């Protein structure tokens, strides 16, 4: 997207005025369409940044960029194209212009921008890009380190640093011109080389001098009936067949002989029943291949807690040279390879400062839903790998510390040596994601050979933050191949190189801090832009403790403010601080009970802290996503209670595109200003009129901007809350305060009323509420599935309960809710107009005009029922012409005159029949006389 040279037109505002509250771009506009489009692109997705350091629930960078830019820029329409260019493509030209505008808007000084839940530092990074003094705080030391890597160290000029004492084996074309990238590569290569040399005896080479790229392992356990030990295998497939390349695929075959077993590798799809598989509603079970005895899941877990599991290497993954390419080939382990694998002993590693080389920190009790292996008897973090994996990672940590010391010895600054060690530690974390008992071999394709059959190692975080567990798991090797140090390093170096090339502005500052006790003076911050945790969506500390225990062993002396502050003290926490973590925790493990009340009170305290540190003309911007309307009500209430006026709410459909996880369909960027110190009191009637007027005026602008109708429903919260926030109190006629919920519902209702949905110009309020709901649903969503949260928001517009709509108007499935267009199971004169319209379509299909007339007479609907015919016309307009319901209703429209006449006859006939029934004698009347 090109940006012309037109100078933005706006007048700088005198910020010295007391109580000055300057409007920002976010108060009136947000690049919703640009954000939605950018989240699936390399420039806007944030995937490159995520490849530098693994973190959880990482929202797309496009949304953070849009939030920061619209918060710092003045309300000037001329700036919109520059913002859209920056969001869509990361245009340097656009960034230059916007940075100039930010400086002008703050009279030449750099505005102070703080993210109080900074996570991996995306928001501070984007604020730094346009010249702000960007600060990020987070309770987690792991997240704080991630922010330093991304938004601080990657943004600095390191050209004055001395050369490192390491040599590179990389080809010249792979060597970056950037000093940081060059030295990070050297550091990685040196750590990898030393580690391979230290562990060469445990990873034997093949006759051709190469090593396998990986190894498949399985956990074994003794059978309760025959006492023989057998492997727990959930799949025998190694590589699916692929007809296009004439690849037969490979699989394992479990063979028993006497008291022993072995696995063979054979060509072709897998056959036979795995030994660990689903057993219906009771979960998985283990079947002994010797005696066929079945062990329940509870029995299998008990074996782990009784220390009866044993790790056994099964198969080597090699590269096999083919005619056209090199493919991944599996084979049975040689005996020397098996013995070397089982000989690895991580307990021989030296201490890491005051810490053991292998993480012995206990996994918190009851944490099975996050660290699933803990439910199978693996009770500390060092047990999540087999011994050889643990030895590998312990050796990598040891070599990172050694290279860090050598960098300092040749004169590297403390910060530079720390940065190099920390970037390398981040690679270790990325490798850990594919190197535990939760990392499984993932053979793509199909057993019938019709799909491409690549093979990869799955990472352990199967659902953003849940650490998976498998009895059959995959171990990457120490040379080349997927999941190895070289492979993971190269991926990260490419991302780092791209990130450094796009660096601009000054480095941000990242520090560990509690959002409920910010380390800043009153009134010193221009903007707080933040993305807080969402209730119980992710338990960040529990998920990242696995990273934390390894980072401590690498960086305990390198980043002592993050990883060594309490070591050797009475506090001495083994894991991260969870008492002050603002989330809803699903399991209570003692200490602070993290329930919904704790979350909402703590988030409110954080907003009060944000209000304290903000200037009087400061802005708060909150990115929030949740499918529960009540969560939104409480969030907006907390913002108001903290002293903010909500001015805007801009939806972005970002989550599925970025993460592949559809837990939230929409996130909303909420703009807030500091409330005026003295606000008047208003009546509810007055505020009702003002809210309706403000929302309807906004709808006209949103239509002009092309904002989708579904997004307008959420955006309406902004103008409604701005009106509501003008007053210190809004009173009902009885003197009670009007609820916030009243105005959220009114906001959505006003959007609906402002649309073109007038149903032949009949007043919308004259239709029954279920019909209004159904017709508006059809206009918004058609016949698609709608998530439950979004459906609940829509029901609120008519003060309806979603539960009451289920069955009569909606069907529910795992994908969400869908509008029913088939005929309801029954109808009466009390049925909604929309239901009668659906019965009309069915009646036409069953008996034409006569059947429709009889049905309408039974439902007590007159021939001139304008509301019914309006709904019929609206359904025909919204449905495709080929739809059976549309065809039937179109035929009904064409025969409306005939049907109207027949209704009168049908009604008269029904009346005569009713009269006749009254005159009939009662059964057995003769016997009773």
* Bridge pairing between strands 260-267 and 250-257: antiparallel
Q: What is the rounded distance in angstroms from the CA atom of residue 651 to the CA atom of residue 654?
A: 9
Confidence category of residue 664, pLDDT binned at 50, 70, 90:
very low
Confidence category of residue 236, pLDDT binned at 50, 70, 90:
very high
Q: Which two tokens stand for residue 442?
A: 């993932």
Residues 739-759 have pLDDT tens digits of: 888 998 898 888 877 765 555
What is the average pLDDT score of the chain? 87
Beta bridge partner(s), residue 646: 672
Residues 467-485 have pLDDT tens digits of: 999 999 999 999 998 899 9
Specify whether the CB–CB gap between 233 and 289 falls below 8 A: no
Specify whether the CB–CB gap between 132 and 104 falls below 8 A: no
Question: Which candidate, 890, 800, 813, 902, places its Cα nearest to that of 858?
Answer: 902
Say if residue 3's pLDDT is above 70.
no
Q: Which of 27-41, 271-285, 291-305, 774-788 has the highest mean pLDDT?
A: 291-305
Tell me the percentage of the chain whose pLDDT exceeds 70.
90
- Residue 870 confidence (pLDDT): 87
Indicate left, alpha or beta for 19 from its phi (over 0: left) and psi (-120 to 50: alpha).
left
Q: What is the rounded distance in angstroms from the CA atom of residue 425 to the CA atom of residue 549?
A: 12
Question: Which candidate, 835, 888, 121, 819, places its Cα nearest to that of 529?
Answer: 121
More confident: 21 or 622: 622
Question: What is the rounded average pLDDT of the residues 817-828?
Answer: 90
Domain architecture of the chain: domains with CATH: 1-11+22-156+507-534+595-672 (3.40.50.150), 164-204+345-435+483-504+540-582 (no CATH), 207-333+439-446+461-480 (no CATH), 676-755 (no CATH), 760-923 (no CATH)
Lowest mean pLDDT among 129-133, 478-482, 794-798: 794-798
Q: Which of 217-221, 542-546, 895-899 has the highest mean pLDDT?
A: 217-221
Say if residue 45's pLDDT is above 60.
yes
Sequential DSSP letters for 257-310 = ETTEEEEEEEESS--S--SEEE-GGG-EEEE-TTT--EE-HHHHHHHHHTT--E
Question: What is the rounded average pLDDT of the residues 218-242?
Answer: 96
Q: What are phi and psi of 320, to 5 degrees?
A: -110, 125
H or E stretch covering 873: helix 866-878
Say if residue 925's pLDDT is above 50.
no
Confidence category of residue 15, pLDDT binned at 50, 70, 90:
very low
- Residue 11 confidence (pLDDT): 35
**CB-based contacts of 19-23 (< 8 A; 24+ apart in sequence):** 19/616, 19/617, 19/676, 19/677, 20/616, 20/617, 21/616, 21/617, 21/673, 21/674, 21/676, 22/74, 22/617, 23/74, 23/75
How far from chain centre, in Å, is Cα 722? 29
* Range list of β-strands (E), 580-631: 614-624
Q: How many CB atoms sit inside 10 A of residue 630's CB?
A: 11
Question: What is the rounded average pLDDT of the residues 844-863?
Answer: 89
Say if residue 7's pLDDT is above 50.
no
- Residue 808 confidence (pLDDT): 85
Q: Which two tokens stand for residue 736?
A: 């009670």
Residues 593-641 have pLDDT tens digits of: 888 899 999 999 999 999 999 999 999 999 987 667 777 888 888 999 9
- Residue 1 confidence (pLDDT): 39
How far from chain centre, in Å, is Cα 732? 40
Return the SS3 of 148: helix
Say if residue 244's pLDDT is above 50.
yes
Q: What is the rounded distance in angstroms from the CA atom of residue 499 to the CA atom of residue 503?
A: 6
Q: How far apart are the first and last CA of the chain?
A: 95
């Amino acid at each position: 997207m090109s940006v012309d040279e037109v100078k933005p037109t706006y007048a700088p505002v005198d910020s010295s005025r007391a109580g000055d509250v300057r409007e920002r771009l976010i108060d009136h506009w947000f690049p919703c369409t640009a954000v939605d489009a950018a989240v699936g692109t390399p420039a806007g997705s944030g995937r490159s940044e995520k490849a530098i350091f693994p973190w959880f629930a990482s929202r797309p960078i496009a949304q953070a960029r849009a939030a920061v830019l619209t918060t710092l820029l003045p309300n000037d329409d001329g700036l919109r194209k520059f913002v859209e260019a920056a969001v869509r493509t990361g245009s340097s030209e656009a960034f230059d212009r916007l940075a100039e505008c930010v400086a002008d808007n703050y009279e030449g000084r750099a505005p102070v921008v703080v993210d109080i839940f900074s996570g991996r530092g995306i928001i501070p990074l984007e604020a730094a890009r346009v010249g702000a003094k960007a600060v990020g705080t987070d309770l987690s030391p792991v997240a704080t380190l991630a922010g330093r890597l991304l938004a601080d160290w990657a943004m600095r000029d390191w050209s004055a640093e001395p050369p490192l004492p390491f040599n590179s084996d990389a080809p010249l074309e792979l060597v970056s011109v950037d000093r940081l990238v060059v030295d990070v590569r050297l550091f990685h290569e040196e750590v990898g080389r030393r580690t391979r040399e230290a562990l060469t005896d445990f990873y034997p080479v093949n006759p051709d001098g190469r090593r396998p790229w990986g190894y498949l392992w399985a956990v074994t356990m003794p059978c309760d009936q025959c006492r023989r030990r057998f492997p727990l295998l959930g799949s025998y497939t190694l590589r699916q067949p692929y007809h296009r390349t004439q690849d037969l695929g490979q699989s394992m075959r479990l063979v028993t002989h006497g008291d022993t077993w072995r696995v063979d590798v054979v060509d072709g799809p897998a056959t036979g029943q795995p030994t660990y598989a689903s057993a219906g509603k009771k979960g998985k079970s283990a079947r002994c291949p010797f005696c066929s005895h079945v062990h329940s899941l509870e029995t299998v877990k008990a074996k782990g807690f009784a220390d009866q599991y044993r790790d056994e290497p099964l198969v080597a993954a090699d590269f096999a040279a083919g005619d056209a390419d090199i493919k991944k080939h599996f084979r049975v382990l040689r005996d020397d390879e098996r013995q070397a694998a089982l000989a690895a002993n991580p307990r021989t590693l030296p201490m890491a400062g005051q810490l053991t080389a292998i993480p012995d920190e206990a996994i918190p009790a009851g944490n099975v839903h996050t660290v699933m292996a803990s439910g199978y008897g693996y009770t500390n973090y060092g047990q999540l790998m087999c011994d050889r994996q643990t030895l590998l990672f312990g050796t990598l940590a040891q070599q990172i510390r050694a290279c860090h010391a050598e960098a300092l010895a040749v004169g590297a600054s403390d910060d530079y040596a720390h940065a190099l060690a920390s970037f390398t530690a981040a690679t270790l974390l990325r490798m850990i994601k594919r190197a535990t008992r939760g990392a499984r071999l993932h053979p793509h394709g199909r057993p019938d050979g019709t799909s491409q059959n690549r093979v990869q190692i799955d990472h352990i975080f199967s659902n953003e933050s849940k650490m998976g567990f498998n009895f059959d798991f995959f171990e990457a090797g120490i040379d080349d191949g997927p999941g190895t140090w070289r492979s993971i390093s190269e991926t990260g170096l490419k991302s780092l190189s791209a990130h450094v090339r796009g660096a601009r502005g000054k480095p941000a500052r990242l520090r560990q801090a509690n959002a409920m006790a910010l380390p800043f003076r009153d009134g010193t911050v221009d903007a707080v832009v933040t993305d807080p945790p969402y209730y119980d969506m992710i338990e960040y500390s529990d998920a990242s403790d696995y990273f934390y225990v390894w980072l401590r062993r690498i960086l305990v002396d390198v980043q002592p403010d993050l990883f060594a502050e309490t070591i050797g003290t009475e506090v001495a926490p083994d894991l991260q601080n969870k008492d002050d973590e603002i989330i809803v925790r699903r399991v209570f493990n003692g200490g602070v009970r993290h329930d919904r009340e704790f979350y909402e009170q703590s988030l409110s305290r954080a907003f009060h802290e944000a209000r304290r540190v903000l200037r009087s003309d400061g802005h708060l911007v909150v990115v929030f996503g949740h499918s529960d309307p009540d969560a939104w009500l409480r969030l907006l209430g907390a913002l108001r209670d903290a002293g903010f006026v909500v001015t805007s709410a801009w939806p972005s459909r970002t989550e599925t595109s970025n993460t592949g996880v559809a837990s939230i369909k929409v996130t909303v960027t909420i703009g807030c200003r500091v409330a005026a110190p003295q606000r008047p009191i208003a009546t509810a009637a007055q505020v009702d009129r003002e809210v309706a007027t403000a929302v309807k005026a906004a709808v006209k602008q949103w239509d002009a901007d092309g904002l989708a109708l579904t997004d307008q429903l959420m955006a309406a919260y902004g103008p409604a809350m701005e009106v509501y926030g003008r007053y210190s109190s809004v009173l009902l006629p009885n003197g009670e305060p009007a609820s916030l919920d009243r105005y959220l519902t009114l906001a959505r209702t006003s959007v609906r009323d402002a649309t073109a949905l007038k149903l032949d110009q009949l007043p919308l309020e004259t239709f029954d509420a279920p019909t209004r709901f159904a017709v508006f649903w059809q206009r918004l969503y058609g016949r698609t599935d709608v998530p439950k949260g979004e459906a609940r928001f829509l029901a609120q517009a008519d003060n309806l309960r979603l539960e009451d709509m289920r069955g009569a108007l909606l069907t529910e499935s795992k994908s969400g809710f869908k509008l029913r267009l088939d005929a309801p199971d029954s109808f009466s004169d009390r049925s909604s107009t929309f239901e009668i319209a659906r019965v009309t379509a069915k009646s036409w299909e069953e008996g034409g005009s006569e059947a429709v007339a009889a049905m309408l007479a039974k439902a007590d609907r007159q021939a001139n029922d304008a509301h019914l015919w309006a709904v019929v016309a609206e359904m025909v307009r919204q449905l495709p012409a080929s739809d059976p319901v549309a065809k039937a209703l179109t035929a009904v429209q064409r025969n409306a005159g005939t049907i109207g006449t027949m209704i009168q006859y049908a009604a008269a006939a029904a009346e005569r029949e009713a009269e006749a029934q009254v005159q009939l004698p009662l059964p057995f009347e003769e016997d009773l006389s």
